[in-house]
Amino acid sequence: MADKKYVYFFGGGNADGRADMKELLGGKGANLAEMTSIGIPVPPGFTLSTEVCESYYENNKQYPPELKEEVENSLKRLEELTGKKLGDPENPLLVSVRSGSAVSMPGMMDTVLNLGTNDEAVKGLEKMAGNRRFAWDSYRRFIQMFGNVVMDVEHEEFEKLLDARKKVKGVKLDTELTAEDLMEVVSGYKNLYKEKTGGNFPQDPRVQLWKSIDAVFGSWNNARAIKYREINDIKGLLGTAVNVQTMVYGNYGEGSGTGVCFSRDPSTGKKYFFGEYLMNAQGEDVVAGIRTPESLDEMKKEIPDKYKQLDDIKDKLEIHYKDMQDMEFTIEKGTLYMLQTRTGKRTAQSAIKIAVDMVKEGLIDKNTAIMRVSPDQLNQLLHPMIDPNTDVKAIGKGLPASPGAAVGEIVFTAKEAEAEAAKGKDVILVRIETSPEDIGGMNVARGILTARGGMTSHAAVVARGMGKCCVAGCSDLHILNESECEIGGIKLNAGDYITLNGTAGEVIKGQVHLVEPEPTGDFAELMSWADEVRTLKVRTNADTPSDAENALKLGAEGIGLCRTEHMFFEGNRIDAVREMILSEDEAGRRKALKKLLPMQQGDFEGIFKVMNGLPVTIRLLDPPLHEFLPHKEEDIEALAKNMGVSPDKLKKKVESLKEFNPMLGHRGCRLGITYPEIYEMQVEAIFLAACSILKKGIKVEPEVMIPLIGTVQEFELLREMTIKTADRIIKENNAELKYLVGTMIEIPRAALVADKIAEVAEFFSFGTNDLTQLTFGYSRDDAGVFLPEYIEKGILEKDPFQVLDQPGVGELVEIGIERGRKSRKDLKIGICGEHGGDPESVEFCHRIGMNYVSCSPFRVPIARLAAAWAQINE
C-alpha cells in the first residue's frame, strides 16, 4: 500500500479527482475536482481523502506517515499556481479548510476560513486588498473561528469582546468599527485565546493548518454529526474528506459578493434559475441566515455580466451532471469563482417535476427519473394541505420554505418539542432561527416557523429534506421569551394552536382544516413509469367503500386487507354486536347475528362495487370480543334493559370476558372455532354480497382470509366451514364465482409450519404487526415505555413496528415463504401489516418474492414507487 494516494490536487484546469470519486473525496472534493477539469473557475486547492479519516480513527487519531509529505507537496503546488505564499507578509496565501463527506450533511461539521493569517500575513492581506479594515476583520474572524472550531473556546466569549468594543465606540454594527478598533479586538482575542487554551495563538500557518485538519476530522464523530447521520439514516461511509482551498473573498468590498443558487427551483421544480446573493459578504453570512439576501433576479439587474457568466456555468453544470445543481459562488473584485456544486436537495413536488421534465428534455431516461424521487419523499406530497375551500386569514407572512401544511401547538425549544411530541402531541417548532442543535426537535415537529433566514437557511434546507412544512424568515414573528411570542401583533403562548402553510409561507391562528392533495400531472406521469417497471403488486388496506375509492385513485390494485370488525362499530350496529357477545348460548348469538348479517352484506356489496372485479381480501373477525363491550355502568344498564337481562348478570359476563393479555387471548380464528356461528355469518354475508353484485354484471373476486392461524388443524376446520357455506350460497344463487380461502401468517408458529398450512391454504398474507409483536415479545400498546430508549441506545436501529425487522421478523417471513411455496408452488403471498407502506420493507418484500404488498390508501403511491425502486435496484 506504499503507493496509496491520500491527497488529491485540483487547480489550473486539471484535477487528480473526478465526480465519481465521492466515496473517497467527499461530495464537495469530488465536485471541485470535476468542475476544475471541465473548465469551471474554481479556486485551486487539494483534498485529503476519506481514507485519511478512516485511518485516523483506526489508528488512535494518528495520520498515515506519508500524509505530511503529500500535503507539503500540494501546498507547494498551490503556492506556485497562485503565486502566493503561506504566511507571506507581502502576498500571503490564505486557505479555507472544510469538511465534505460522500453524503451532504449541511452545517453538521466544522469549517475554518482565512487560515494563514497571522501578525505578518495580515499586512500582506492589507496590501493585496488595499483595505486595512478588511485585513484586520479577516484576522479577527480567523482567530474567532479557529479558537471556537479548533480549540473549543466559546463563540460567546469572542462576541462579548467585540460587543465591548462597540460599546466603547458607541456604535451598533460590526461594520461601524474601524481597522484600529479591530486591531484592539484582535489583541483582546489573542489574550482570550491564551487564557482559555493555555498557549499563544499559533502564528505558524502550518500549525494552524494541521490543527484545523485535526478539528475537521474530529468533527466527523461529534454528537451533532452522529445524530444527523442517525436521523437521516446515513451509513457505511469511511469518514469525511478535508478540502483545503485558496480563499476568495466576497467581502473585499463593493465589487465583491457571494451567493447560493439552484439550477431549478428546489421548492417547485420549475426550470427557473433560483438563488440568493449578498454583496460584500462571506458565504457563511448567506447560509447562516444572519442577513436576508437578495434574489438572483436582482443580480441580473445589478451585475448582468456576472449573472450571465453564472447562468452559463449553471447550464454547463446541470448538463454535465444531468441533475439539478445546488451551487455556491463568490465574486472577488469582479471575478466569479465557483466554490461548490452538488446535487440539490428538493421537495418531493420539485423532485417529481424535475425528474419528469428532464426525461422530456432528453437529459435522463425514465428509470433514472424514477430513482430521482425517493419513496420516503412522496410522503410530503401526500401530506395534507390547507383545505382550499376554507377561508383563512394569515396573521404572519414568511418565505414558503418547505411546502405542505401543518397544525400544532406552539413550542419554543427543540427539547420542548421532543418532550411534547413524546406525549403524542402535534407541535410546531417556533424559533428565531434554527441551528444544527435543533435537529431532534425539528424531526418530531409537524412544522417549523422561523423569524429569520432565507430559502437556503438551515431551517429551510433541513425541513425540505425531512419533507416537513416550514415557513422561514417570518418578520411578523417576535419571540418574547421562552413561553410567549407575538405574530402580527397577536400574542400567543406555548401550547396555543397555529397552522402553517408552507406552500404559501403563511401563519394562521388556530387549527385549520387540512385536506389530501390530488395525485395528478407530473406525479401521475412518474407513477405510471414506476408501474411499468415494477413487478410487485400494490393493494390497499380498506374497510369501507370510501377508503377503497381513495385507494383506487392512488393506484391500488386490489384490497389486501378488509377488516370486518371495523364495520361492527358503525352506527348502532354495536348494540347487535354486544347482544351477540353477551348471549348465554348459541341460540342467542344466532339471533343477534341475524341482525348483523344484512348490515355486513351491505358493507361488502359497497366494497365489491367500488373494486369492480379487483381482488378483495376479507379478514374474518379478529379482535378479542371484549373490545366491543360497554364498560361504563350506564352503558351496561342500557344494554341489559335492551337484552332483557339483569345488569348484574351482564356485568359479570363483561367481567368474565376480560383477559390478562388480550393480545394473546381469545381472538382471531380462536373465536371462529369456539363460536363457529360468527364466522359462518360473516362468510354468508360475503357470498350473499358477491352473488348480488354479480347479478348486477359487476365482477367479484373475494378472498376469504382467516386470521391468527397457528396450526393447520385450525385452518382446515374453518376452511371447511367457509367452503361449505360459500358453495351453498353460490348454488342457491345459481352463480358462477371463483374465490380463494387463505390465511394470515402472523403467529410465529404459522411461519414455521407454513408447509403444512400451504397444503390447504390458497394464499398467505403476512400480518407483520402481530408477527412483530410476537417475534419480539413486544406489546404494541405497552412498548412505548422502553422503545424510545432502545432506539436511543442503539439496541434497535428503528422502531420495528414502522420498519420491518429483517434479521428477526423478516427471517420468519422468509422461512414462511420458503416452506409455503415448497408445498404449493404458486402460493399467492402478500403482506398487510403497516410495513406494506414502508419503502425499505417494500423492497424486502420484493426481494423475498412476495406477490403483493398492501398498505393504507395514502401510502399506496409510496409502495408503488418503492416497488419500482426494488425492481430497478435488483
In the complex, minimum distance from the CB of residue 743 to its own copies, in angstroms, rounded to a whole number = 13
Q: Counting contacts by CB under 8 A, is residue 437 touching its own copies?
A: no
The one among 666, 733, 848, 851 contacting its own copies by CB under 8 A: 666
* C-alpha–C-alpha distance, residues 591 and 55, integer Å: 76
CB of 716 to its own copies, least distance (A): 9
All residues at 6 or more sequence positions from 419 whose CB lies less than 8 Å from its CB, including other chains = none
Candidate list 184, 805, 838, 843; residue touching its own copies; CB under 8 A: 805
770 sits near its own copies (criterion: CB under 8 A): yes
Interface residue with its own copies, options 714, 834, 838, 843 (CB under 8 A): 714
Decide if residue 776 touches its own copies (CB under 8 A).
yes
Task: Classify burial at 600, counting beta carbons within 10 Å of its beta carbon; exposed 0-12, middle 13-18, buried 19 or more.
Answer: buried
Long-range contacts of 16-25 (CB under 8 A, 24+ apart): 17/47, 19/321, 22/102, 23/50, 23/102, 23/237, 23/238, 24/49, 24/50, 24/51, 24/238, 24/241, 25/49, 25/50, 25/100, 25/241
Question: Does the protein bind its own copies through residue 535 (CB under 8 A)?
Answer: no
By CB under 8 A, residue 768 contacts its own copies: no
* C-alpha closest to that of 397 among 500, 454, 474: 474
Contact 576, 628 (CB under 8 A): no
Q: Are 529 and 366 in contact (CB under 8 A)?
A: yes
Distance between start and end Cα atoms, the chain: 34
Query: Closest distance between its own copies and the C-beta of residue 409, in Å?
Result: 23
- Smaller CB separation from its own copies, 385 or 809: 809
Site membership for its own copies, residue 661 (CB under 8 A): yes
Question: Does 708 participate in binding its own copies (rule CB under 8 A)?
Answer: yes
> CA-to-CA distance for 713 and 669, rounded, in angstroms?
11
Backbone angles phi, psi at 536, to 5 degrees: -80, 130
**β 484-487/325-332 pair status:** unpaired
Nearer Cβ to its own copies (142/675): 675
Residue 60 touching its own copies (CB under 8 A): no
Q: Which three cell numbers stand for residue 111?
A: 469549517
- Number of Cβ within 10 Å of residue 388's Cβ equals 6
Candidate list 53, 261, 383, 458, residue with the active-site label: 458
SS3 470: strand
83, 424, 697, 777: which one binds its own copies (CB under 8 A): 777
| Helix, coil or strand: residue 683 | helix
Which residues 6+ apart lie within 8 Å of 849 measured at CB?
A: 817, 821, 829
H-type alpha helices, 777-829: 787-792, 811-823
The answer to the question of residue 307 lying near its own copies (CB under 8 A) is no
- Grid-cell match 457563511, residue found: 284
- 770 alpha-carbon distance from chain centroid: 26
Q: Is 721 in the site for its own copies (CB under 8 A)?
A: no
Region near its own copies per CB under 8 A, out of 335-343, 346-354, 569-577, 783-791? 783-791
Q: Please report how close the Cβ of residue 341 comes to its own copies at its closest, in angstroms.
A: 40
CB of 180 or CB of 792, closer to its own copies: 792
Binding segment (CB under 8 A) for its own copies, from list 28-36, 340-348, 740-748, 831-839: 740-748
> Counting contacts by CB under 8 A, is residue 423 touching its own copies?
no
CB 426 within 8 A of CB 408: yes
Q: Which is nearer to its own copies, 544 or 769 (CB)?
A: 769
H helices present in 657-793, as ranges: 669-674, 676-695, 712-732, 748-752, 754-758, 768-776, 787-792
Cβ closest to its own copies, residue 446 vs residue 756: 756
- Closest contact distance (angstroms) between CB of 707 and its own copies is 11
Query: Do 596 and 677 meet the contact criterion of CB atoms below 8 Å apart?
Result: no
Q: Does 779 bind its own copies (CB under 8 A)?
A: yes
Q: Indicate if 832 belongs to the active site.
A: yes
Q: Quick one: 20 or 789, whose CB is closer to its own copies?
A: 789
- Extract the C-alpha cell encoding 726: 360459500
Nearest to 764 by CA among 774, 751, 775, 776: 751
Among positions 245, 450, 773, 871, the unique one binding its own copies when judged by CB under 8 A: 773
Q: Does 808 bind its own copies (CB under 8 A)?
A: yes
Q: How far is the CB of 793 from its own copies (least distance, A)?
A: 7
Applying CB under 8 A, the span of 307-315, 324-332, 571-579, 794-802 interacting with its own copies comes to 794-802
Give the shortest CB-660-to-its own copies separation in angstroms: 4
Q: Fill in the DSSP letter of residue 638.
A: H
- Beta bridge mates, 97: 112, 244
C-alpha cell at 770: 402481530
Answer yes or no whether residue 747 interacts with its own copies by CB under 8 A. Answer: yes
Q: Which stretch binds its own copies (CB under 8 A): 64-72, 295-303, 483-491, 665-673?
A: 665-673
Q: How many residues bind its own copies (CB under 8 A)?
A: 49
The stretch among 345-353, 400-408, 705-713, 833-841 that binds its own copies (CB under 8 A) is 705-713
User: Judged by CB under 8 A, does residue 514 bind its own copies?
Assistant: no
State which of residues 435, 711, 823, 851 lies at the interface with its own copies (CB under 8 A).
Answer: 711
One of 261, 470, 562, 832 is an active-site residue; which one? 832
DSSP conformational letter for 271: S
- Region binding its own copies by CB under 8 A among candidate stretches 55-63, 133-141, 290-298, 661-669: 661-669
Question: Half-sphere exposure of 554 toward its Cβ, with a 13 Å CA cutoff?
Answer: 32
Residue number, 115 or 705, with CB nearest to its own copies: 705
- Dmax over CA atoms of the chain, in Å, equals 104
Decide: residue 391, CB within 10 A, 0-12 exposed, 13-18 middle, 19+ buried: exposed
Per rule CB under 8 A, is residue 807 in the interface with its own copies?
Answer: yes
- Rule CB under 8 A: is residue 585 a binding residue for its own copies? no
Q: Is 665 near its own copies (CB under 8 A)? A: yes
CB of 778 to its own copies, least distance (A): 6
Q: Is 361 helix (H, G, I), strand (E, B) or coil?
A: coil
Interaction of residue 19 with its own copies, rule CB under 8 A: no
Nearer to its own copies, 252 or 778 (CB): 778
Q: Is position 155 annotated as part of the catalytic site?
A: no
Single out the residue of 179, 419, 645, 673 in contact with its own copies (rule: CB under 8 A).
673
Can you tell me which of 362, 793, 826, 874 binds its own copies, judged by CB under 8 A? 793
φ/ψ of 63, rounded to 5, equals -90, 160
| Contact criterion met (CB below 8 Å) for 267 and 403 | yes
Which residues of this protein are in contact with its own copies, per CB under 8 A?
Answer: 659-666, 670, 673-674, 708, 710-711, 713-714, 717, 746-749, 752-753, 756, 770, 773-779, 781-783, 785-786, 789-790, 793-796, 805, 807-809, 811-812
Q: Which residues are catalytically annotated?
A: 458, 832
